[in-house]
Chain A
């Protein structure tokens, strides 16, 4: 609508400024937030369809780079993608807008559900379903685990790290955050002294 107004006003073909992009960016990310199940990875094809194919704001190559960064930086993958894409498409305001829009549908849906969930779970047959689901969760976690394992260098060092993390987390009360920080520090030391080469680090 804004675009039509500007079209008739200025007589230009189709003005593509940051301002005209805001509404489309918001609409795209609301849609992405409302219709993707299963988090960041499921969003990737949708984001690239909206941004690359529909609007042509980003190229395929840029999109791939954004996803690579989103996966490997700290934080929620979906939010990482939204912030990055929003920034590339329409600066800081774009980044803020895309981030709010990708989170908003989930926020509304979950706050509504959480009002009813306890009453719902107390229904007899729903409780049976949840007994099954608690087993299903184990499968879900296992699938997530396999995904992580795929991205690990297959060497003795990784196996030692897995074992160390497992033992420390299972049998001591060390804070998980310290374990993760320890891993980062170790990574830095390894690089300083070139103990081993990391092949898959960037993937």
Chain B
């Protein structure tokens, strides 16, 4: 029971402090959910991929996942309701007044300072994820995982080519392309040279 309440409160907090969509949530999830031991960093990276390649709001996907892993269906409900609640309440308060909140200079200047902070926080998460993907523990000669570096380079090339052709490199495409590269670089190529 305590766990359910904890899940609800934690995700309520996360929902309340997320401004600008699912990715702004990741620093918070990393701190709250990973620190509490509900999921680990590796799981979280995999969740992001799964959340991106399944339909539905990204934030809801992550909340459902964490809840489900922590304490089954009841946990999933608690986390999902928790993450949705702040949006629901705040929007109803705004919609009822139907005033333009941007006319308020305080709201504008708060957005002005909060966005750079989110950028800083996401940058830290990128470094933490990169450390997990790139730095290998078992190599004695060279601490960088070469296959990960090659994957990153090739993804960058695909991104660049798509951009030159005026097309988007959508998140689902990123997941599919990186999965394909993973299978080739981690599965097929080592077998060819083994």
What residues make up the interface of A, taking CB atoms closer than 8 Å to B?
A: 33-41, 43, 65, 68-80, 83-84, 87-88, 92, 95-96, 99, 102-103, 105-107, 109-111, 113-115, 117, 121, 124-125, 128-145, 148-149, 151-153, 158-159, 161-170, 175-177, 179-184, 186-188, 190-191, 198, 200-202
Inter-subunit contact A175/B60 (CB<8 Å) = no
Residues of B near A99 (CB, < 8 A) are 84, 87-88
Pick from B55, B83, B130, B155: contact of A109, CB below 8 A: B55
**Can you name 22 A-B pairs with beta carbons within 8 Å?**
A35-B55, A38-B171, A39-B22, A75-B88, A99-B84, A115-B68, A124-B187, A130-B182, A131-B186, A133-B182, A136-B179, A139-B156, A141-B23, A152-B119, A158-B115, A165-B116, A165-B117, A166-B120, A179-B121, A188-B110, A190-B112, A201-B108
Which of A40, A111, A113, A188 has the most B CB atoms < 10 Å from its CB? A111
Identify B111's interface contact among A131, A175, A187, CB under 8 A. Answer: A187
- Identify the B interface with A (CB < 8 A): 13, 15-24, 26-28, 31-32, 42, 45-46, 48-61, 64-65, 68-69, 73, 76, 80, 83-84, 86-88, 90-92, 94-96, 100-102, 105-127, 129-130, 132-133, 147-148, 151-152, 155-156, 159, 169-172, 174-175, 177-183, 185-187
Q: Are A110 and B64 in contact (CB under 8 A)?
A: yes
Write out the residue numbers on chain A whose beta carbons fall within 8 Å of the beta carbon of B21: 39-41, 71, 76-77, 144
Chain A residues lying within 8 Å of B91, measured Cβ to Cβ, are 69-70, 73, 75, 79-80, 83-84, 87, 95
